[in-house]
Amino acid sequence: MTSRGADAAPAEAGLGVRDRRGSTPTVRMLGTRGVPASHGGFETAADNIAHYLVARGWRVVVYCQVQGKGDITTDTWEGIERVLVPVEDTEWRGTAVFDLRAARHAAKHRDVCLTFGYNTAGFNLLQRVRRVPNIFNMDGIEWKRERWGLGKRAAFLVNERLACWMGDHLIADHPVILEHLAQHADPERITMIAYGAPAITDAPTEPVTALGLDAGGYSTVVCRPVAENSLLEIVRAFSATRRDHALAVLGNFRREMPYEAEVLDAAGPEVVFPGAVYEPDAIAAVRFHSRAYVHGHTVGGTNPSLVEAMGAGNPVIAHDNVYNRWVAGPEARFFDSQASLTAEFDEVLHDGQVLDRMGRASRARHAAEFTWDRIASQYEDLLLAHLPSGRG
């Protein structure tokens, strides 16, 4: 299996880039819970981009949320400087406090900032006032997601507009997101940079068997159990007939949550719920030994789980929308209803030639667009263009 370090390390590591003053360039990363990555897509992106830049000679400072109270402290992890910001609340209120304290701290320095997400963009006003350059990765169009209540959707919309105004530059992770942002910001201030994933070329079977699965004898679904991810339709379509094959739905499912209970009740005997898998080598093995990956996301930009499945060479069966079609490419299979997904399962899951062709296409698409080496180098180019002293 190719590790993050091998995939992210640039071929020209150690070049020792310099800014116009001849100093080591510095970037401060905000908006994630920090490194090492252990939470989600933004953390994984920050982790990989940070390692790439360190190997290129950058000073990288990542703001990290830690539980507790007291003063901000610092340490170093694998060449990355970490600013440890303690907050007591582990829910969204704590994250908001963390974002505010991090923004205040970063605004004291004349370093280019890279902010992942815009959910608390209002806190970055101080950087704008102090002319500290700040690049926003704008993520998806959060205020359009139906799973959020009206209040949260309004807050997301306001902060999206603030980020479009305040950001020295905006990053869109998908062409459709770029088109959306161009309605609210100068297109010359927007760059499309997708999401990355390692190429998984080998993996042990032990993590798979530990979950009660047989290598090659299952397909996977990895997503939050919410309606916009088509999980109920996926489970019902798979359970429509005997498959002689398992569907492993990863994640934590709670009967007290109505939608999650509905998914559990809809599952036939060949649908299994192994729980959440967070350990990177374990989830890589689960992906590598999966016969296919089923992706039901209906909204969003470049989805990390989809890109990771492609890096593992998984044949992709995805919901038919403009987001997934651009990422997965023309050799993937697409569905727009429970009935059409049932038909795709019937046709694809036991056709070795079709699966081989789809898997090769996934690897080729990943290698062309979604390696961390490619993604991180694009980030570096953009950061160099926005160093406080001018172009590097």
Tell me the three-class secondary structure of the chain, residue by residue: CCCHHHHHCCCCCCCCCCCCCCCCCEEEEECCCCCCCCCCHHHHHHHHHHHHHHHCCCEEEEEEEEECCCCCEEEEECCEEEEEEEECCCCHHHHHHHHHHHHHHHCCCCCEEEEECCCCHHHHHHHHHCCCCEEEECCCCHHHCCCCCHHHHHHHHHHHHHHHHHCCEEEECCHHHHHHHCCCCCHHHEEECCCCCCCCCCCCCHHHHCCCCCCCCEEEEECCCCHHHCHHHHHHHHCCCCCCCEEEEECCCCCCCHHHHHHHHHCCCCEEEEECCCCHHHHHHHHHCCCCEEECCCCCCCCHHHHHHHHCCCCEEEECCHHHHHHHCCCCEEECCHHHHHHHHHHHCCCHHHHHHHHHHHHHHHHHHCCHHHHHHHHHHHHHCCCCCCCC
Which pLDDT does position 17 carry in this prediction?
A: 63
Domains in the chain with CATH codes: 4-196+371-384 (3.40.50.2000), 206-369 (3.40.50.2000)
- Report the distance separating Cα 157 and Cα 162, nearest Å: 9
State the 10-residue block means of pLDDT for the chain, 392 residues long. 39 50 86 86 94 98 95 97 93 90 96 94 92 93 72 85 95 96 96 97 98 97 94 98 97 95 98 93 97 95 96 98 97 98 97 98 98 98 88 39
- Report the distance separating Cα 392 and Cα 198, nearest Å: 28
Hey, what's the torsion of the CAs at 50, 52, 54, 58, to 10 degrees? -90
- Report the distance separating Cα 258 and Cα 273, nearest Å: 17
- Report the distance separating Cα 177 and Cα 327, nearest Å: 13
The token pair at 325 is 């079609």
Which pLDDT does position 156 carry in this prediction?
A: 84
CB 56 within 8 A of CB 10: yes
CA angle 82, 85, 88 (to 5 degrees): 145
- Report the distance separating Cα 26 and Cα 380, nearest Å: 11
| Diameter of the chain measured on Cα atoms | 67
Hey, CA dihedral for 179, 390, 32, 124, is it positive or negative? negative
Omega before 304 within 30 of 0, i.e. cis:
no
Which pLDDT does position 170 carry in this prediction?
A: 98
Nearest to 28 by CA among 55, 8, 53: 53
Q: Is 40 left (phi over 0), alpha (psi -120 to 50) or beta?
A: beta
Q: Amino acid identity of 331?
A: E
Q: Amino acid identity of 326?
A: W
